[in-house]
């Protein structure tokens, strides 16, 4: 997390985040009282009071949000003592990261949902919250600046209802997003792991046997066969069918490339040499993974609906 001199996060982005928090089910201070939360980020004894009866911010916040609770719940968003609307990016991002700290929020699923919502907005201005550490089995989030040419592709895999084990896929996606810039070799390995997990989920749901020792190319071949993901499945009478056949064949090539990239420049197999992978290599492998994974998800989704429709028409 590197401080920035000039604010890149716009007032509109900040307002959007605050509006989402105000309308959501999540209290920004989590299980802490407001002064307890803010004391983790600010020296409340050094900030002035807005109430003439008290000398410092600590006193007036405690009076109005613990004793009386007579301020609005989202009062802090508009209090210029805390510089959330007009202050530095660092101040704003540190506040958001604190709202999902394990001490503040003891529900990891709620924290993950909040981070996802934050990132949907923050990425437009070149930032995102990411996992930076662990507190036992809980995630501690920090933030990073992302380059203008990198905007993480939002896969819909975790939202696809047919893939019931979507928490596994979401974990792989989180690891990829975390490591794309900071640990490209690890991100490349996670890309291969994501495709392997997705293939196993589909094959399991279709009651098709596979071995835990099967490598990615074999798993994809079984999945492609089960879902008719092949050039022969393209209707030759349709315009552009030749191009579609080539694209379908390219999927197998992409899968093989992802597997080989993991073996050669990923962090697997206990290599004794440092990987030459750079962020641009990781993004290339990730984009290949997106093409394959999204097509599998879309095809399985359509196949599932067709099967349900066929069953419904048979009664």
The string of pLDDT tens digits covering residues 218-257 is: 999 999 999 988 777 666 655 556 777 788 888 899 999 9
- Residue 5, domain member (yes or no): no
Element (H, E) at 132: strand 127-135
Pair 299, 165 in one domain? yes
- Residue 151, domain member (yes or no): no
Pair 304, 180 in one domain? yes
The SS3 assignment for 134 reads: strand
Pair 236, 175 in one domain? yes
pLDDT at 152 over 90: no
Q: What is the pLDDT of residue 105?
A: 96
CB of 197 within 8 A of CB of 270? no
Pair 163, 301 in one domain? yes
At 148, the pLDDT band (50, 70, 90 cuts) reads: very low
> What's the mean pLDDT in 105-117?
92
- Residue 48, domain member (yes or no): yes
Q: Which of 19-33, 51-65, 67-81, 273-287 has the lowest mean pLDDT?
A: 273-287
Pair 26, 76 in one domain? yes
Number of structural domains in the chain: 2
Domain boundary among 86, 115, 145: 145
- Residue 4, domain member (yes or no): no
Q: Which of 186-200, 201-215, 262-276 has the lowest mean pLDDT?
A: 262-276
- Residue 152, domain member (yes or no): no
Pair 174, 140 in one domain? no
Residues 6+ positions from 77 with CB-CB distance below 8 Å: 18, 21, 22, 84, 85
The closest of 254, 260, 239 to 296, measured between CA atoms, is 254
* Count of C-beta atoms within a 10 Å radius of residue 167: 10
Asked whether the whole model's pTM tops 0.85, one would answer no
Domain of 52 in residue numbering reads as 11-145
Q: What is the pLDDT of residue 311?
A: 42
State pLDDT tens for residues 55-79. Answer: 999 999 999 999 999 999 999 999 9
Pair 128, 104 in one domain? yes
Burial category of 268 from C-beta neighbours within 10 Å (exposed 0-12, middle 13-18, buried 19 and up)? middle
Q: What is the pLDDT of residue 150?
A: 46
């Amino acid at each position: 997390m590197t401080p920035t001199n000039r604010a890149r996060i716009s007032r509109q982005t900040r307002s959007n985040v605050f509006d989402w928090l105000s309308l959501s089910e999540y209290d920004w201070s989590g299980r802490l009282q407001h002064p307890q939360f803010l004391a983790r980020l600010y020296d409340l004894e050094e900030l002035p009071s807005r109430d003439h009866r008290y000398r410092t911010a600590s006193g007036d916040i405690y009076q109005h949000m613990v004793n009386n609770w007579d301020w609005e719940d989202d009062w802090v968003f508009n209090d210029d003592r805390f510089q959330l609307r007009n202050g530095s990016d660092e101040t704003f991002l540190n506040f958001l990261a604190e709202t999902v700290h394990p001490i503040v929020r003891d529900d990891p699923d709620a924290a993950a949902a909040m981070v996802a919502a934050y990132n949907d907005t923050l990425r437009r201005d070149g930032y995102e919250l990411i996992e930076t550490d662990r507190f036992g089995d809980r995630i501690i989030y920090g933030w990073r600046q992302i380059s203008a040419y990198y905007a993480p592709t939002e896969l819909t895999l975790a939202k696809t209802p047919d893939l019931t084990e979507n928490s596994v896929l979401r974990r792989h996606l989180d690891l990829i997003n975390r490591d794309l810039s900071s640990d490209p070799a690890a991100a490349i390995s996670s890309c291969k792991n994501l495709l392997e997990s997705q293939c196993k989920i589909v094959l399991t749901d279709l009651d098709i046997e596979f071995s835990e020792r099967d490598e990615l190319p074999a798993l994809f071949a079984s999945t492609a066969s089960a879902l008719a993901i092949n050039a022969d499945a393209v209707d030759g009478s349709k315009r552009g069918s030749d191009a579609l056949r080539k694209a379908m064949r390219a999927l197998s090539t992409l899968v093989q490339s992802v597997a080989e990239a993991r073996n050669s420049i990923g962090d697997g197999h206990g290599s004794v040499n440092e990987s030459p992978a750079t962020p641009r290599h990781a993004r290339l492998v990730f984009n290949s993974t997106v093409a394959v994974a999204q097509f599998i998800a879309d095809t399985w989704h359509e196949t599932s609906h067709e099967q349900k429709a066929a069953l419904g028409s048979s009664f």
